[in-house]
Amino acid sequence: MADQRSIPPGLAPTLPADARGMIGNMTTTALVSLRGAIDFMCFPRIDSPAIFAGLLDPERGGAFSIEPALDAVNVNVKQMYLPDTNVLLTRFMTRDGVCELLDFMPVPEDRPAGDAEAAAPLPNCVIRVVRMVHGRMTLRLRCAPRFDYARGDHTLHREEGAVEFHALDGSLQLRLNSSVPLSVDERTAQTEFELHDGESAGFAFGDAAALREKTFDCDTVLSGTIRYWQAWSAQSTYRGRYREVVMRSALTLKLLSSREYGAIVAAPTFGLAEAQDGSRRWDYRFTWIRDAAFSVYALLRLGYTGEARHFMKWIAERSRHCDSDGSLNVMYTIDGQRPPEETEAIGLTDGSHGAPLTGNAARDQTQLDVYGALLDAVYLYNKYGAAISYDGWRDVTRTVDYVVAHWREPDHGIWEFRNGRRALLHSRLMCWVTVDRALRLAEKRSLPAPLKRWFETRDAIHRDIHDRFWNEDLHAFVQTPDSATLDASALMMPLVRFIGPTDPRWLSTLDAIGRELQVDPLIFRYTRGATLDGLPGVEGGFSACSFWYAEALARAGRVDAGRLVFEKMLAYANHVGLFSEEVATSGEALGNFPQALTHLALISAAYQLDRNLDKVHVPWT
């Protein structure tokens, strides 16, 4: 996204969390700030310990910065992506010159079988290319990795054109290759260098063994990386009016996916507070099963059947290796393992809110809605991708039978309540989706199934939702039986085809959500300031819920209202089109960044709005 909004001179001492772009290689990612600092990066994988976490702790977290050797007040900065790529361009402008900093992680181009260059993998690393396009400028480089969430120490080894950083525990070795001479102190590599019009400098930082063995020209790898991303973007079949934001969302999702495994993580970060008081600092570098339906839907809608197929293989493996009763975990690491226990990263603290959390205690929760996400993904991929296998269907039926046996039980739900289980509308809704999609698939593919029991269960869940979760006084579906609590996850009801988008019960629920949970375009998960989840702090509006709301409005025939909510939400993207998990009423980005679920919901809403605005009638089924 080539955003041309200017960032004013005199950047604040502490940048907002979303004052950054993201780069990656489908193995890991890094955030690059408007000051030219990589101040968040986990290595060698996206869920590995952080080596740069200055975003969370500027004093101890570590960063790799390249910036003008001037006071910030004298520098104007703009940041953008090169068109249809994940190559990030940061431009520093002063009265004396204009300098460009290009940041990216190399990805191999798709080459014909037998191509010699295709056989030589590129290092897992960040490449930074500095170019002087006008005048002259002195720049300052400082590379200060901090191993194991800033808990581990390291030694430095300098040689001609490079500095290596070796963790004392032997767990990791990093290397910085440089085209300009470097100096070192006991923990940091640094230098100052001057560039004149037309001159450039290049740096590669990453896996030491790979960077020792393979030499390459930064400009050549840059050209190949640009070609890769532009060729990937060209595969999109989306030609709607929101192409730029949809493609930026697709490119973001691609960065959050694993080239090796096919999984998509919820976010590349941990420890970014969801509340303005600094609380709720969770780790989202894992794959939630519930994201499956949105991911598969979005990727298929955009024509990325290969990515959808890769993700479905990952999901199939989780289903194949689930418990004997058919139950699944809530979340997994990208390679399909159980996430680590939730612990404090005690090496990192901002001085007022304690240490951020790594791992996630929600791994031990019961969340029945994940089965609906799984079955919706399976159904959609069968509809638009490939038919399910015999073994795959056997695994599916085992999971559906688990839901048939357990759908009445309380759980922790989509919002991962940490103060006990309860009967929840969204979980009940997604149990209905589980059985409904299994029935559709069995009938469509003539697959063997206990149809009578499944039909009876689906109908029982349908009646239960209408009988127990309908509040006659509010004329709305509510979060729990016999309550008056509204929940934005109810917005999924027409989106998953449980209820017609113009059904009177749904329209009155939509109106109630608008009255109680909406602040301008922001939709809160439940009543603002509520203590339903037993956690401190007041959250912001949940960005994905706002896009669900825009889509629900459009489906209900309120297209102008839906479009206004959608386009107001677009203004909450950061300067390069990335969205955080939540937004405060003051406009501040909250929560982990960028958030996959937000970008998935954006794609779905954009697709629906295009249909409505183009007056394309699609029968409701």
* Residue 497 domain boundaries: 243-613
Q: What is the pLDDT of residues 278-298, one digit of tens each?
A: 778 889 999 998 877 788 888
What pLDDT is recorded for position 503?
A: 97
Phi-psi region of 67 (alpha: psi -120 to 50; beta: other; left: phi over 0): beta
Measured CA to CA, the distance from residue 36 to residue 118 in angstroms comes to: 31
Q: Does a structural domain hold residue 494?
A: yes
- Kindly tell me if the per-residue pLDDT of 9 is higher than 80: no
What pLDDT is recorded for position 268?
A: 97
Which of 519, 509, 535, 531 is CA-nearest to residue 584?
519
Q: Return the amino acid letter for 412.
A: H
The answer to whether residues 196 and 286 belong to one domain is no
- Kindly tell me if the per-residue pLDDT of 430 is higher than 90: yes
Q: What is the mean pLDDT of residues 519-548?
A: 84
DSSP letter string over 244-270?
HHHHHHHHHHHHTB-TTT--B-S-S-B
Q: What is the pLDDT of residues 382-429, one digit of tens each?
A: 888 889 999 999 999 999 999 999 999 999 999 888 888 999 999 999
* Residues near 564 by beta carbon (within 8 Å), at least 6 away in sequence: 521
Q: Does a structural domain hold residue 460?
A: yes
- Kindly tell me if the per-residue pLDDT of 208 is higher than 80: yes
Q: Does a structural domain hold residue 89?
A: yes
Q: What is the mean pLDDT of residues 138-167?
A: 94
Mean of all residue pLDDT scores within the chain? 90
When divided into structural domains, the chain yields a total of 2
Q: What is the mean pLDDT of residues 5-10?
A: 48
Q: State the pLDDT confidence band at 3, using cuts at 50, 70 and 90.
A: very low
Q: What is the mean pLDDT of residues 355-373?
A: 91
What pLDDT is recorded for position 293?
A: 73
The answer to whether residues 176 and 261 belong to one domain is no
The answer to whether residues 293 and 202 belong to one domain is no
The answer to whether residues 310 and 223 belong to one domain is no
The answer to whether residues 230 and 295 belong to one domain is no
Measured CA to CA, the distance from residue 52 to residue 208 in angstroms comes to: 16
- Kindly tell me if the per-residue pLDDT of 111 is higher than 60: no
The answer to whether residues 108 and 184 belong to one domain is yes
Helices (H) and strands (E) in the chain, counts: 15, 26
Q: What is the mean pLDDT of residues 358-364?
A: 92
Measured CA to CA, the distance from residue 317 to residue 532 in angstroms comes to: 35
Q: Does a structural domain hold residue 101?
A: yes
Q: Helix 504-516 and helix 543-555: axis angle, to 10°?
A: 140
Q: Does a structural domain hold residue 4?
A: no
* Residues near 187 by beta carbon (within 8 Å), at least 6 away in sequence: 144, 153, 154, 156
Supply the DSSP symbol for 73.
Answer: G
**Among the listed ranges 111-125, 206-220, 317-331, which one has the minimum average pLDDT value?**
111-125
CATH number for the domain spanning 204: value is 2.70.98.10
Instruction: Tell me which of 185, 216, 234 is where a domain ends.
Output: 234
- Kindly tell me if the per-residue pLDDT of 354 is higher than 80: no
- Kindly tell me if the per-residue pLDDT of 504 is higher than 90: yes
Q: What is the mean pLDDT of residues 180-209?
A: 94
Q: What is the mean pLDDT of residues 16-32?
A: 96
Q: What tokens were used for 339?
A: 């996430």
Instruction: Tell me which of 197, 215, 234 is where a domain ends.
Output: 234
What pLDDT is recorded for position 529?
A: 59
The answer to whether residues 252 and 371 belong to one domain is yes
**Among the listed ranges 91-100, 319-328, 362-371, 391-400, which one has the minimum average pLDDT value?**
319-328
What pLDDT is recorded for position 1?
A: 42
Residues of the chain with pLDDT > 70: what percent? 93
- Kindly tell me if the per-residue pLDDT of 553 is higher than 70: yes
The answer to whether residues 222 and 311 belong to one domain is no
Q: Is 71 exposed, middle or buried (0-12, 13-18, 19+ CB in 10 A)?
A: exposed
The answer to whether residues 371 and 449 belong to one domain is yes
Q: What is the mean pLDDT of residues 160-185?
A: 94
The answer to whether residues 90 and 207 belong to one domain is yes
The answer to whether residues 431 and 300 belong to one domain is yes
Q: What is the mean pLDDT of residues 362-372?
A: 92
Q: What is the mean pLDDT of residues 434-457?
A: 96
Q: What is the mean pLDDT of residues 480-501?
A: 95
Measured CA to CA, the distance from residue 74 to residue 198 in angstroms comes to: 22
Supply the DSSP symbol for 205.
Answer: E
Instruction: Tell me which of 180, 213, 234 is where a domain ends.
Output: 234
Q: What is the mean pLDDT of residues 530-544?
A: 78
What pLDDT is recorded for position 403?
A: 97
Q: Does a structural domain hold residue 404?
A: yes
Angle, alpha carbons 561-566-569 (nearest 5°): 125
Q: What tokens were used for 491?
A: 């917005």
Is the pLDDT higher at 330 or at 72? 330
Q: Does a structural domain hold residue 7?
A: no
* Residues near 88 by beta carbon (within 8 Å), at least 6 away in sequence: 21, 22, 23, 32, 79, 80, 81, 82, 102, 103, 104, 576
- Kindly tell me if the per-residue pLDDT of 548 is higher than 50: yes
- Kindly tell me if the per-residue pLDDT of 178 is higher than 60: yes
Which of 123, 162, 164 is CA-nearest to residue 147?
164
Residue 50: count of CB within 10 angstroms of its CB? 30
What pLDDT is recorded for position 217?
A: 86
- Kindly tell me if the per-residue pLDDT of 347 is higher than 70: yes
Q: State the pLDDT confidence band at 471, using cuts at 50, 70 and 90.
A: very high
Is the pLDDT higher at 608 or at 315? 608
Is the pLDDT higher at 4 or at 111? 111
CATH number for the domain spanning 604: value is 1.50.10.10
Q: Does a structural domain hold residue 621?
A: no
The answer to whether residues 337 and 204 belong to one domain is no
Q: State the pLDDT confidence band at 5, using cuts at 50, 70 and 90.
A: very low
Q: State the pLDDT confidence band at 11, using cuts at 50, 70 and 90.
A: low
DSSP letter string over 83-97?
TTSS-EEEEEE-SSE
Is the pLDDT higher at 252 or at 417? 252
